[in-house]
C-alpha cells in the first residue's frame, strides 16, 4: 500500500530546514504556526544554532532600543505640554485676576486670628510663578516702588549670583535687593539643591497693602463659593 505524505510531515521537514538556517524556536513557530513543543520534538537532534549576536552586540541593541523608547516618551511629553500650553491662549483680565488670587492664597502669607498680618508677602523659587505674580500685581495697579525684594537662600550658595538672576527676572538692578535671608546648614540633612541652577527663593513684600489683602481674601472666598455652587 502506498503511503501518502502527511501534512505534519511537511511541517516537520520545514521546521528542520528553518532550524538548520539558524532560526530560534520562536521564529519557527511564527513562521509555521505550530506549537513550540512540537518544534522542540522535531529538531532536538539538530545542532543548536550559533548566537546571532555577541553579548556586546545584544547589549548595544538593547541600549539603542531603550534610547529610542526614551526619546519617544520625551517627545510625547513635549507634545502634551505644547498642546496644553497652546490651548490656554490669551488670558482676560478677569482670568488673570482669578489665577493670581488662587496663586497668592496657595503661596502667600495669610492673616491669622491670633496674628494680624494683612499685608502681601509672597515667596517662591519658580521664575514662572514669580513672573505671573508680578504681572498680577501690575493688573492690581501696584507700582514697583511699593515692592520690596529679598532672596531667601542656603548659606553655602552664591548669594550674589542668585540676586543677579532674580533681578533679571524682575527687570531691576540687583542693588535694589534687601539683605538676603540665609538658611543655616543642617549636617544631618542631605541637600539635593546644590547645583548651579539653585537660586533660592525670591520674597516679594508689598508695602501699604492691608486693603489689597482684604480684597484678595474676599475674592478667594468668592472663588470657593462659586466652585461649591458649580458642583
- Predicted pLDDT at 22: 81
Q: Which domain holds residue 191?
A: 93-230
Q: Are residues 214 and 111 part of one domain?
A: yes
Query: H/E element holding 147?
Result: strand 147-154
Residue corresponding to grid cell 474676599: 218
Q: Within a domain: residue 86?
A: no
Q: Within a domain: residue 174?
A: yes
Q: Within a domain: residue 59?
A: no
Distances (CA, A) of 36 to 50, 56, 103: 19, 28, 61
The whole-angstrom separation of Cα 152 and Cα 180 is: 6
pTM as predicted: 0.70
Q: Are residues 97 and 38 part of one domain?
A: no
Q: Are residues 103 and 27 part of one domain?
A: no
Q: Within a domain: residue 87?
A: no
Please classify residue 86 by burial: count the beta carbons closer than 10 Å to its beta carbon, then call 0-12 exposed, 13-18 middle and 19+ buried.
exposed
Number of domains the chain is built from: 2
Q: Are residues 218 and 105 part of one domain?
A: yes
Q: Within a domain: residue 147?
A: yes
Q: Within a domain: residue 80?
A: no
Q: Are residues 118 and 30 part of one domain?
A: no
Q: Are residues 216 and 141 part of one domain?
A: yes
Q: Are residues 121 and 38 part of one domain?
A: no
Q: Are residues 17 and 122 part of one domain?
A: no
Q: Within a domain: residue 58?
A: no
Q: Within a domain: residue 108?
A: yes
Q: Are residues 178 and 116 part of one domain?
A: yes
Q: Are residues 14 and 102 part of one domain?
A: no
- Each of the 231 residues of the chain gets a pLDDT tens digit; together they read 445 556 688 888 888 888 888 888 888 898 888 898 998 899 888 888 777 778 888 899 899 999 999 999 999 999 999 999 999 999 999 999 999 999 999 999 998 877 778 999 999 999 999 999 999 999 999 999 999 999 999 988 899 999 999 999 999 999 999 999 998 866 555 555 566 789 999 999 999 999 999 999 999 999 999 998 876
Q: Are residues 206 and 110 part of one domain?
A: yes
Amino acid at each position: 500500500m502506498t503511503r501518502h505524505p502527511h501534512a505534519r510531515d511537511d511541517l516537520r521537514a520545514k521546521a528542520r530546514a528553518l532550524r538548520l538556517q539558524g532560526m530560534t524556536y520562536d521564529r519557527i513557530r511564527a513562521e509555521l504556526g505550530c506549537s513550540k513543543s512540537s518544534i522542540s520534538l522535531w529538531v532536538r537532534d539538530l545542532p543548536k544554532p550559533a548566537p546571532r549576536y555577541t553579548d556586546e552586540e545584544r547589549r548595544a541593541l538593547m541600549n539603542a532600543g531603550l534610547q529610542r523608547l526614551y526619546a519617544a516618551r520625551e517627545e510625547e511629553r513635549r507634545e502634551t505640554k505644547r498642546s496644553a500650553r497652546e490651548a490656554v491662549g490669551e488670558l482676560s483680565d478677569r482670568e488673570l485676576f482669578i489665577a493670581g488670587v488662587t496663586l497668592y492664597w496657595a503661596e502667600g502669607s495669610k492673616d491669622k486670628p491670633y496674628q494680624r498680618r494683612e499685608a502681601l508677602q509672597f515667596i517662591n523659587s519658580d521664575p514662572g510663578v514669580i513672573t505671573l505674580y508680578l504681572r498680577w500685581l501690575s493688573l492690581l495697579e501696584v507700582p514697583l516702588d511699593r515692592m520690596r525684594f529679598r532672596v531667601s537662600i542656603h548659606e553655602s550658595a552664591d548669594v550674589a549670583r542668585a540676586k543677579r538672576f532674580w533681578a533679571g527676572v524682575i527687570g531691576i538692578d540687583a542693588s535694589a535687593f534687601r539683605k538676603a535671608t540665609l538658611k543655616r546648614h543642617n549636617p544631618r540633612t542631605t541637600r539635593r539643591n546644590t547645583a548651579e541652577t539653585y537660586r533660592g527663593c525670591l520674597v516679594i513684600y508689598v508695602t501699604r497693602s492691608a486693603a489689597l489683602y482684604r480684597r484678595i481674601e474676599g475674592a478667594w472666598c468668592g472663588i470657593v463659593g462659586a466652585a461649591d455652587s458649580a458642583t
